[in-house]
Amino acid sequence: MIKAGIVGASGYTGAELVRLLTLHPEVELAVLTSRSYEGKEMAAVFPHLTGFTDRVLTAFDADGLAAECDVIFTALPHGHAVPVAEAVIRQGKKLVDLGADFRFRETGVYESWYKVEHGAPELAEEAVYGLPELYRAQLKGVRIVANPGCYPTASLLSLVPLLRSGCIAPEGIIIDAKSGVSGAGRRLDLRAHYAEVNENVQAYGVAVHRHIPEIEQELSVAAGREVRISFTPHLVPQTRGILTTVYASLKTRLSTAELLEVYRDFYRDEPFVRVLPEGVFPRTKSVTGSNFVHLGAVADLRTGRAVLLAAIDNLVKGASGQAVQNMNIVFGLPETTGLEYPGIYP
DSSP state, residue 27: E
Q: Classify 74 as helix, strand or coil.
A: strand
Query: Residue type for 206, please?
Result: V
Query: Residue type for 105, please?
Result: R
Query: Residue type for 178, please?
Result: K
As annotated, the active-site residues are: 150
Dihedral sign for Cα 283, 284, 286, 292, please.
positive
DSSP state, residue 265: H
Give the residues across from 145 on adjacent strands.
Answer: 96, 128
Query: Residue type for 281, please?
Result: F
DSSP state, residue 113: H
| Exposure letters 184-220 (e unless 16+ CB within 10 A, then b) | eebeeeeebeeeebeeeeeeeeeeebbbbbbbbbbbe
Ordered strands of the 27-33 beta sheet: 27-33, 2-7, 71-74, 94-97, 144-146, 128-129
Q: How far apart are CA 202 and CA 284, in angstroms?
A: 18
CB proximity list for 54: less than 8 A, separation 6 or greater: 41, 43
Tally of CB atoms within 10 A around 28: 13
DSSP state, residue 242: E
Query: Residue type for 156, please?
Result: L
